[in-house]
Amino acid sequence: VIRCTAAVAWAPNKPLSVEEVEVAPPKAGEVRIKIVATGICHTDDHVLKGSLPHVEFPVIPGHEGAGIVESIGEGVTSVKPGDKVIPLCIPECGECSFCQNPESNCCQKSHFSEPQNLLPDKTSRFTCRGKQIHHFLWISTFAEYTVVPEYAVAKIDAAAPLDKVCLFGCGFSTGYGAAINTAKVKPGSTCAIFGLGGVGLSVVMGCKAAGASRIIAVDINKDKFAKAKELGATDCINPRDFKKPIQEVLTGMTGQGVDYSFEAIGLTDTMIAALASCNMNTGICVMVGVLDSEISIDPMLLLTGRTWKGTMLGGSWKARKSIPKLVSSYLEQKFNSDLLITHTLPFAKVNEGFELLHAGK
């Protein structure tokens, strides 16, 4: 058993409590990882607010990390102690029909198929002050050590800087993949991205990499525009600067609406606005933001031909194979995801990180 520090969420709507936890050794088919760096994704904020389904408190959140294998359980063959890895919030068992389908990434062994907040054998490896602590998405990266199933571990290049590539565990892969895999953005096309956080800015990078000729970035925080432009946005607009609904503004700017729209915020109104912003016939709208309520739309929006899709961790990445490839592309400087990093804090200041997120910084 390792004693180390972790950030525990004891109850919804409370700051994280940074304290000593015990992390049990990996059982058969599991890997214990020393987490070196973790990002903060807005989904972790949904966890803290208690608005994400199937989360049970107390829980150790975090799902955008990178680290080094510390030890392996019986039967683990694909990684060994010392390997650099990214734990995967969507695993790849390699055997289920979704893993074998090139168009899919949502492995059937994931916690989306069988929602739960323990490891697959329905036990926890974390205790704190004598209480069992739940896992989050099987990877709980807000801990110095975490235990995950082998099929939720991607081995990456030994040269990868873990404090930079941790973003590939969620935000970057999600946004970039939403453009490349889910929307399949075509060269010369027009795109609109609602929300310019880590995820939305990664969508901008994906649209640019796919050769889109016009990339319209939409956010109510104009401080996000400089970075969006640096990453490839051609136009940046703030819905609050217009009297008309933003979908009408975008339709006016493009004639008939964009070819691809993306919602990377997680609000009902912007989901509907994004859908209505893509052209009525061939437009494709990708829902990336996490929404915790139901949504109702005018069916005419779809009847005319639009496609409305969702994406998890960037569509058809096969996580154990594709995320290491993305890391290699990063090392070959094919894109600069470092620009997404705004602050680097010591782990003890994790709550300050959430304050920066809330402040739009």
The contact pattern for ligand NAD, residues 60-99, with x = CB under 6 A and - = no contact, is ----------------------------------------
Q: Is 9 or 69 the residue whose CB approaches ligand NAD more closely?
A: 9
Q: Is 72 or 90 the residue whose CB approaches ligand NAD more closely?
A: 90
* Alpha-carbon 221 to chain mean position: 21
Helix (H) and strand (E) counts in the chain: 11, 15
Cross-strand pairs, 126: 23, 133
Q: By C-alpha distance, which of 150, 176, 305 is closest to 232?
A: 176
- In this structure, what DSSP letter does residue 39 have? -
- Binding of ligand NAD at residue 206 (CB under 6 A)? no
The contact pattern for Zn ion, residues 73-102, with x = CB under 5 A and - = no contact, is ------------------------------
- Binding of ligand NAD at residue 177 (CB under 6 A)? no
Footprint on residues 279-308 left by ligand NAD (CB under 6 A):
288-290
**Which residues, including other chains, have CB under 8 Å from residue 191's CB and lie 6 or more apart?**
179, 183, 185, 203, 207, 212, 214, 215, 216, 258, 259, 260, 261, 262
Cis omega (within 30 of 0) for bond into 120:
no
Q: Is 26 or 87 the residue whose CB approaches ligand NAD more closely?
A: 87
- Binding of Zn ion at residue 170 (CB under 5 A)? yes
- Binding of Zn ion at residue 41 (CB under 5 A)? yes
- Binding of Zn ion at residue 340 (CB under 5 A)? no
Euclidean distance between CA atoms 119 and 76, whole angstroms: 16
Burial class (CB in 10 A: 0-12, 13-18, 19+), 161: middle
- Binding of ligand NAD at residue 152 (CB under 6 A)? no
Cα separations (Å) of 130 from 21, 84, 133, 162?
9, 31, 9, 32
Q: Is 31 or 357 the residue whose CB approaches Zn ion more closely?
A: 357
Only segment of 6-14, 125-133, 194-202, 250-258 that touches ligand NAD (CB under 6 A): 194-202
DSSP H helical ranges for 109-197: 162-165, 171-177
**Helix %, strand %, coil % for the chain, to 5?**
30, 20, 45
Cα separations (Å) of 330 from 35, 154, 160, 191?
20, 15, 9, 24
199 binds, among Zn ion, ligand NAD, none (CB under 5 to 8 A by kind): ligand NAD
39 binds, among ligand NAD, Zn ion, none (CB under 5 to 8 A by kind): none
Please, what is the minimum distance in Å from the beta carbon of residue 18 to ligand NAD? 21
DSSP-derived pairing of the beta strands 214-218 and 235-237:
parallel
**Which of residues 138, 142, 194, 354 is near ligand NAD by CB under 6 A?**
194
Q: Is 41 or 152 the residue whose CB approaches ligand NAD more closely?
A: 41
**Which of residues 247, 270, 277, 279 is near ligand NAD by CB under 6 A?**
270
Residues that bind Zn ion (CB under 5 A): 41, 43, 170
Q: Which residues bind ligand NAD (CB under 6 A)?
A: 41-43, 46, 170-171, 174, 194-200, 218-221, 224, 239, 264-267, 270, 288-290, 311-313, 357, 360
